[in-house]
Structure 1
Amino acid sequence: MKKDKTNIQFVLFFGICLSAFNSYSQDLNTYIDEAISNSPEIKKFELRYDISTEKVNEANWIPNTEFSAGYFVSTPETRVGAQRARIGFKQMLPWFGTITARKNYATSMAEADYLEVTIAKRKLVLSVSQFYYLLYEIRAKQGVLDQNIELLQTYERLALTSVEVGKASAVDVLRLQIRQNELQQEKEVLQQQNKGIQAAMNSLLNREYNKEVIVVDSLQLPLEDRQLSFEALTVNPELLKFDKLYESVAQSELLNLREAQPMFGFGVDYIPVSERIDMNMPDNGKDIVMPMVSISIPIFNNRYKSITKQNDLRQQEITSQKDERLNGLKTELAKAISQRNQSRIKFETQSKNLQQAKDAEEILIKNYETGTIDFNDVLDIQELQLKFQTNQIESIKTYYQQSTIINYLTI
């Protein structure tokens, strides 16, 4: 079985998926290995491939050998004696190259099933990676909320001090406390989301739904993006599968042409003869041995003509299916590249905004040192900082998710 090229492609896909995320993906690497090892779906496709491989051995067959035996109830008399029974065997043989054609057809079908295994593994890598980055997003947002809650608690203490000296009202303190309650609510909602995504990922790993999934604490965007072209789609196993199916139909037609040829047969009939007792003659009672040859000619061969027509139509169908899927992959790739690029733009913009919001926060702190502070401005700046921080996290998550999709499509 020629699997080397497909194996290399999967290893490259798997490796680039991980190397593209630098050292951040050590845990993701472990989870992907675990998912592939434990997946019932992968096992299902592997067993299907094993069955297809075994069909190659099944193809090495010839028609059953026919044995026959009969006893003459009314014995026919011959010159040398009476015939008592007839014993014979016959073996038909297919046309030259028919068995080889069967093996080639079975092999081509097995290769197509092997690509199904590869596709299933790649889709599993994609799904595990998507859930992994969703968990990263949720937990990174929880960390940001914790930082902002601590910041609001600091502002609350400043507000209480200002209330004591008459520079702020109790309303300012209550507003800061309300804002803390809102952030605490967001954090608890994220915790519930975390449970759901973690359960889904554990399902892919085929283990207990509530088992802890560890993700990295931080992710950074790579300095440069991998250059891509639509030509890279040609190595996608989803398209290679159609090539294998097309080849299997071609092998099916070669087999059909062989089966449309005559079949040859050979055999032997043996007839025991009783001796004549009424006279003595040469070869009296000599048994009869009759070698035979036969030929089976498919005179009414409309079946084979129909199969040829079906194979031609099937190849046209596969070509159309491949073109349709190629167009779909191009659309998915263009969309993934666009969203990946958008996420980088958004991340850079949010970084600038976040720095400016921190500068504004420093100005407010300095104003407090001089005795004046507007806690409404404090809340506004805090909300802006939280918005920019969460947008940054979403941009990072989107970047890596889209990168995983791009790798799935082009490697």
Structure 2
Amino acid sequence: MKGIATMVSLLLVGVFVQGQQLQSYIQQAQDNNPDIRAYELRHEIAEEKVNEANWLPNTEFGAAIFASEPETRTGPQEAKFSATQMLPWFGTVSARENYARATADTEYLEYRIAKRKLALNVAQSYYALYTLKAKQNVLADNIDLLDTYERLALTAVEVNNASAVDVLRLQIRQNEMKQQKAVLQEQYLAEQANFNGLLNQDWRSFIEVLPQIDIPISDPVITDSLQLNPELTRFDKLYESVARAELLNRKESAPMLGFGLDYVPVQERSDMMPDDNGKDILMPMVSISIPIFNNQYKSRTKQNELRQSEIESQKQERLNVLRSALAKAKSERNAARIEFNTREQNIQQAKNAEEILLKNYETGTIDFDDVLDLQELQLKFQLEQVESIKKYYVESAVINYLTN
């Protein structure tokens, strides 16, 4: 029981260290990735548009000089100066700000989605690096194993219990595995460049990958919180922004009020002295702008209704896609655990068979055809087990993206 407890403790520590290491890389990617920075800037631009929304129509100023000065009782008019300010209907500016705010909230969700997708890509690339490195280690162990078999074969040749052909076949098999290992190294360098690209650092930068990752004894509890996924809440914000756009449209279809002031300087009359002789004219004005031909506002209302229906359909379709993806990820992760356990048993049985072969060697009855067949099976099981580990954690990353 103490041994089992120790093993469980070590496994939990390994999972924690792996999670901390991967999270550190994800944080680095989110801080440095230029695509994330672009999304962040888009959100900042949308936030600034909230300030832009607080505006009024331009104040109009006018000045005119009479080519022929009109005579009035109090004197001839020299010029005319005017100022006019149109004001939107009550609540229009607030409606415009609310629409800009809803648009900014949508951009923020786009930013969050981009960060989550980047985290998923980093996790998938990390586990791809682990897989390529782990397979190289498996091949290195098997090459060493064939070295041992080759020495046994050379000894058997000396006592006429094996032929030189057996030695050559073992060497050919070694060469094939060395080739596989070299190819995996090239693939590792390519994936390393991809990983560094996600982190926006030099493509040759060293990436620290844990040498051993195991599947935990039990799976984390999954809460079906798809409705909180930003990919879905984004549609809620889009719907809200369209509702805000319609409210703004209604406000803009209302009349606009205008306030102005005209000032006319008047010269004094010299031929007579009437009351208020030469008194300047000051004329306050009030105007109203009514959108009589308002088809554009009616059309916008119809467009907004159609847009909201479209958003509801898009959200339902995306929800179906995410539900399918979550169900598939759960199934694939469960399958990965089953495959891992089966291959663990097969590897143990292959080791038992290896021990039997080595015991047979002591009696001089070793069959090197069996040696190669066993080694090939063992290598197959080990490589497949590495793939099972990768599959488990990649699907776990997908589940985490969908539900957290």
Q: TM-score normalized by structure 2?
A: 0.95
Q: Secondary structure at the match of 1:276?
A: coil
Q: Which residue, 212, 232, 245 being the options, matches 2:238?
A: 245
Report if the CA contact (8 A) 1:340-1:402 is conserved.
yes
Structure 2, unmatched stretches of 5+, are 1-11
Superposition deviation, residue 27 in structure 1: 2.9
Q: How many residues align?
A: 393
Superposition deviation, residue 21 in structure 1: 4.4
Report if the CA contact (8 A) 2:350-2:374 is conserved.
yes
Once the two structures are superposed, the pairs formed by residues 183-262 of structure 1 within 5 Å of their partners are 183-228=177-222, 231-262=224-255
Q: Secondary structure at the match of 2:225?
A: helix
Q: 1:134 is aligned with what amino acid?
A: A
Q: Which deviations, in whole Å up to 9, do the C-alpha atoms of 1:170-212 show, x marking residues without a partner?
A: 1111111111111111101111111111111111111222222
Q: 2:40 is aligned with what amino acid?
A: E
Report if the CA contact (8 A) 2:336-2:392 is conserved.
yes
1:302 aligns with 2:295: yes
Q: Which residue, 93, 98, 107 being the options, matches 2:92?
A: 98
Report if the CA contact (8 A) 1:36-1:124 is conserved.
yes
Report if the CA contact (8 A) 1:260-1:301 is conserved.
yes
Q: Secondary structure at the match of 1:92?
A: strand
RMSD of aligned residue pairs (Cα, Å): 1.5
Q: Secondary structure at the match of 1:215?
A: coil
Q: Secondary structure at the match of 1:70?
A: strand
Once the two structures are superposed, the pairs formed by residues 127-138 of structure 1 within 5 Å of their partners are 127-138=121-132
Once the two structures are superposed, the pairs formed by residues 28-43 of structure 1 within 5 Å of their partners are 28-43=22-37
Match of 1:49 in 2: 43
Q: 1:287 is aligned with what amino acid?
A: D
Q: Which deviations, in whole Å up to 9, do the C-alpha atoms of 1:232-252 show, x marking residues without a partner?
A: 211111111111010000000
Q: Which residue, 109, 114, 124 being the options, matches 1:120?
A: 114
Once the two structures are superposed, the pairs formed by residues 157-196 of structure 1 within 5 Å of their partners are 157-196=151-190
Report if the CA contact (8 A) 1:25-1:216 is conserved.
no
Once the two structures are superposed, the pairs formed by residues 61-72 of structure 1 within 5 Å of their partners are 61-72=55-66
Distance in 1, matches of 2:255 and 2:140, equals 82
Superposition deviation, residue 370 in structure 1: 2.5
Q: TM-score normalized by structure 1?
A: 0.93
Superposition deviation, residue 387 in structure 1: 0.8
Match of 1:371 in 2: 364
Q: Which residue, 53, 61, 80 being the options, matches 2:74?
A: 80
**Identity value in percent:** 62
Q: 2:197 is aligned with what amino acid?
A: S
1:109 aligns with 2:122: no
Distance in 2, matches of 1:314 and 1:394, equals 45
Superposition deviation, residue 25 in structure 1: 3.2
Match of 2:8 in 1: none
Q: Which deviations, in whole Å up to 9, do the C-alpha atoms of 1:272-296 show, x marking residues without a partner?
A: 1111111112111111111111111
Q: Which deviations, in whole Å up to 9, do the C-alpha atoms of 1:72-130 show, x marking residues without a partner?
A: 11111111111111111111111111010000000000000001111111111111111
Distance in 2, matches of 1:109 and 1:185, equals 55
Once the two structures are superposed, the pairs formed by residues 272-351 of structure 1 within 5 Å of their partners are 272-351=265-344
Q: Which residue, 359, 362, 385 being the options, matches 2:355?
A: 362
Q: 2:239 is aligned with what amino acid?
A: Y
Distance in 2, matches of 1:275 and 1:208, equals 84
Superposition deviation, residue 222 in structure 1: 1.3
Which range moves more in the overlay, 321-330 or 137-146?
321-330
Report if the CA contact (8 A) 1:122-1:408 is conserved.
yes
Q: Which residue, 385, 400, 406 being the options, matches 2:393?
A: 400
1:140 aligns with 2:122: no
